[in-house]
Amino acid sequence: MRIGHGYDVHRLVVGRDLILCGVQIPCEKGLLGHSDADVAIHALMDAMLGAAALGDIGRHFPDTDPRYKGISSMKLLEHVVQLLSSRGLQAVSVDVTIVAQRPKLKNYMDEMKKNVCTALSLPEDRVNIKATTTEGMGFEGEGLGISSQAVALLMPTDTEN
């Protein structure tokens, strides 16, 4: 088994869509970034790459590369799944925490989880997506940005699990 951790932050700005785990969430602000800035999926990909000792998403998908401009991070996650698969590895359990003061994400959790389950070909009991506020403190609390942390457990693809 291999375990990895990921962390990411994006700035909240007017004029961008807010996309978390592939779900577009109604909000007057969205996350700024070269891709769709899906901070939750970025943290998850970094956790998966970290567990495989394959660096980070900045190395695999540089923000200077025009191919990744505006790209859905779910597409990038597909790449990471394939990359791990080519190394004989698969994610078997993942847990993602989104830190945002607002908007409330409760109503979007099921869809977010479904997207991750589909991307990782995992059943519902192997994927967890959760959200917390910081009770108004710090950059997330002040609504300046959203952060996310994730852990991923990988197993060899030939293992029964």
**Shorter beta-carbon distance to Mg ion: residue 40 or 52:** 40
Which string of x and - marks every residue 7-46 that binds Mg ion (by CB under 5 A)? -x---------------------------------x----
Query: Which of 29/42 has CB closer to Mg ion?
Result: 42
Beta strand 89-99 with 127-132 is: parallel
Helices (H), the chain: 39-51, 57-60, 73-86, 109-120, 138-141
Compare residues 31 and 89 and give the one whose CB is closer to Mg ion. 31
Distance of CA 76 to the CA centre of its chain: 10
| Number of chain positions touching Mg ion (CB under 5 A) | 2
The rounded distance, in Å, linking the Cα atoms of 148 and 132 is 10
Task: List residues near Mg ion by CB under 5 A.
Answer: 8, 42
